[in-house]
Amino acid sequence: MSARWIAGLLEAIVVSTVLLVTGSSARARDTGQEQETLKGLVRVHVVVYVEGSANSVASPVLQKDVEHALQQSGLRVISGAELKSDPNAGLLIVSVGSLEDKLSGPEQLAGYAYRTDLNLWQITTLSRASWIRTYTATWQAPMRLGTCGPDAVAVEVGKSVGGQVDQFLAAYRAANPKKKQ
């Protein structure tokens, strides 16, 4: 193994660790209680945040893709104003973080490390103080980490988010099975 390969591997480990520490905590599975929080959910507002150096990842494109997938599964996507007036709606937050990794040397290799998170937030009430109502993350997909070349960032992030949306929709369908007619 060359010193350059070892240095690149160490740098990838450091970048992945930084993204892991700065991202939200990942859960390895969808618990029954989390899935129960999806029961009866019919309206969601979607917010997509893209942070970091991957300029090719466009928030509006990801937002449109997520909203389309939700609508195809029967969820109604609502505006922020509608969310404020609907205590039964959820807030689906997609977060993307990226970090550019440039390896010095004659090849000037470059790449990106990225992480994607998907969380559903809903209004909850504290049982010990019923006048306190606040948004709480009630369901989350496991955080995903990845690396790719600079030309593939948008595609790879889109695949990662798409996989998390699929996980959310699978849990949603399990909590809200279609009634036989």
pLDDT digits (tens, 9 = 90+) for 44-90: 999 999 998 766 678 889 999 999 999 999 999 999 999 999 989 99
Per-residue pLDDT tens digits for 96-130: 999 887 665 556 567 889 999 999 999 998 889 99
Domains identified in the chain and CATH numbers: 3-175 (3.40.50)
Q: Is 26 exposed, middle or buried (0-12, 13-18, 19+ CB in 10 A)?
A: middle
Q: What is the pLDDT of residue 77?
A: 97
Question: What phi and psi, each to the nearest 5 degrees, are found at residue 27?
Answer: -105, 140
Provide the residue type at 127 as one letter: S
**Residue 95 pLDDT level (bands cut at 50, 70, 90):** very high
- The span from the CA of 57 to the CA of 35, in Å, is 30
- The span from the CA of 70 to the CA of 128, in Å, is 34
Question: What phi and psi, each to the nearest 5 degrees, are found at residue 39?
Answer: -65, 125
